[in-house]
């Protein structure tokens, strides 16, 4: 599990969601996401007309859209959050996989931070920052890849759901996630389990492209308003679930269940039983394709 590609990049591919209970529901969308080194953010879009860091543009990286104290560098805040959750420091480079703010709007159901070891480039840890829609709450899950990985195999973890995400799922779920080291292919597999049965799964499978003028132009041409289409997809899939009669679960705050989980989460534990391997390509359902993102409020965990 060693990364040999330490530069900024664009990842393009598919995300697939599949519900198994209480009624089947599936869809797949084409996506692209930016993959940026946090210690070299300012260099990512140097000389680009339509892309930027820290200043408004057609596509831009806005510090306040991400984890921690927005007055502090994101690199420092992600390291602090990982240290608090894992009980140890990460000292190697960190990359963020994200949807950039586009045409003034951002929608990131899940942002992934990949932390690497300083020597050899092996994946050390992952911080997954989940944002729920429409509430805009964030919750960060830390995955200790160093403690869970097997050479050449994905890192598998399981842990209880800690924040209300989809109103079509209850809180009483266990998450089972699998990560591979980003390389030519980037893959994440996420499952929800309840009462010993798998009720939902999502797979993100992307292929790496260089962060150059041609690939940036293709990204905008194919997905001119990716974040707006993410939001539209969330509400469209929620409407489909409602139409199918999927039970609705109000936010715990609105049913007297107390406040939502705090934004700081404990580190997940290694999974003794592995979920599905994320290395295979998702199988899009016939006739369902378009832009989206990883698990979202209307359809995800």
Q: DSSP per residue over 168-193, as a string?
A: TS-S--EEEEEE---SSEEEEEEEEE
Q: 225-280: per-residue pLDDT in tens?
A: 989 988 998 888 889 989 998 898 888 876 544 434 434 444 565 554 344 445 44
pLDDT number for residue 156 = 86
Tokens of 272: 């003794």
Q: 90-130: per-residue pLDDT in tens?
A: 999 999 999 999 999 999 999 999 999 987 678 999 999 99
For residues 163 and 267, the model is more confident at: 163
pTM of the model: 0.84
Q: Is the dihedral of CA 99, 105, 108, 113 positive or negative?
A: positive
The rounded distance, in Å, linking the Cα atoms of 42 and 64 is: 15
Mean local confidence (pLDDT), 21-33 = 93
* Whether the predicted pLDDT of 213 surpasses 70: yes
pLDDT number for residue 238 = 87
In 3D space, the residue among 241, 268, 252 whose CA is nearest the CA of residue 158 turns out to be: 268
For residues 272 and 15, the model is more confident at: 15
In 3D space, the residue among 300, 286, 301, 296 whose CA is nearest the CA of residue 28 turns out to be: 286
* Whether the predicted pLDDT of 168 surpasses 70: yes
The rounded distance, in Å, linking the Cα atoms of 119 and 111 is: 25
Enclosing H/E stretch for 209:
strand 197-210
pLDDT number for residue 281 = 40
Q: Is the dihedral of CA 15, 240, 199, 85 positive or negative?
A: positive
**H-helix segments, the chain:** 74-86, 145-148, 213-222, 226-243
Q: Which whole-number Å values give the CA distances from 273 to 27, 127, 240, in the listed order?
A: 26, 21, 32
What are the residues facing 143 on neighbouring strands?
126
Instruction: Write down the residue that tokens 């798998």 correspond to.
Output: 198
- DSSP code of residue 81: H
pLDDT number for residue 126 = 96
In 3D space, the residue among 56, 100, 98, 106 whose CA is nearest the CA of residue 231 turns out to be: 106
Q: Which whole-number Å values give the CA distances from 21 to 18, 27, 283, in the listed order?
A: 9, 15, 19
* Whether the predicted pLDDT of 294 surpasses 90: no
pLDDT number for residue 220 = 94
* Whether the predicted pLDDT of 221 surpasses 90: yes
**At CA 184, angle to CA 183 and CA 190, rounded to 5?**
65
- DSSP code of residue 31: E
What are the residues facing 205 on neighbouring strands?
14, 187
Tokens of 185: 């292919």
């Amino acid at each position: 599990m060693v990364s040999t590609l330490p530069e900024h990049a664009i990842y393009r591919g598919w995300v697939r969601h599949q519900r198994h209970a209480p009624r089947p529901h599936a869809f797949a969308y084409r996506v692209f996401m930016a993959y940026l080194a946090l210690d070299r953010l300012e260099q990512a879009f140097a000389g680009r007309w339509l892309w930027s860091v820290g200043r408004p543009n057609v596509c831009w990286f806005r510090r306040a859209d991400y984890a921690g104290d927005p007055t502090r560098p994101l690199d420092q805040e992600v390291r602090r959050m990982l240290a608090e959750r894992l009980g140890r420091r990460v000292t190697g480079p960190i990359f963020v996989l994200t949807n950039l703010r586009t045409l003034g709007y951002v929608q990131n159901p899940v942002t992934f931070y990949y932390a690497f070891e300083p020597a050899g480039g092996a994946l050390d840890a992952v911080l997954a920052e989940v944002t729920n829609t429409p509430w805009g709450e964030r919750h960060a899950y830390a995955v200790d890849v160093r403690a869970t990985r097997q050479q050449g195999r994905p890192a598998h973890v399981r842990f209880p759901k800690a924040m209300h995400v989809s109103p079509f799922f209850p809180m009483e779920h266990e998450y089972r996630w699998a990560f591979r080291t980003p390389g030519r292919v980037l893959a994440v597999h996420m499952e929800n389990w309840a009462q010993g049965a798998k009720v939902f799964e999502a797979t993100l499978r992307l292929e790496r492209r260089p962060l150059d003028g041609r690939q940036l132009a293709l990204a905008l041409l194919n997905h001119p308003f990716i974040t707006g289409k993410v939001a539209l997809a969330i509400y469209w899939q929620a409407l489909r679930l409602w139409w199918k009669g999927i039970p609705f679960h109000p936010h715990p705050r609105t049913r007297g269940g107390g406040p939502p989980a705090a934004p700081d989460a404990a580190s997940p534990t290694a999974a003794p039983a592995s979920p599905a391997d994320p290395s295979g390509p998702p199988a899009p359902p016939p006739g369902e394709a378009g832009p989206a993102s990883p698990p979202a409020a209307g359809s995800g965990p």
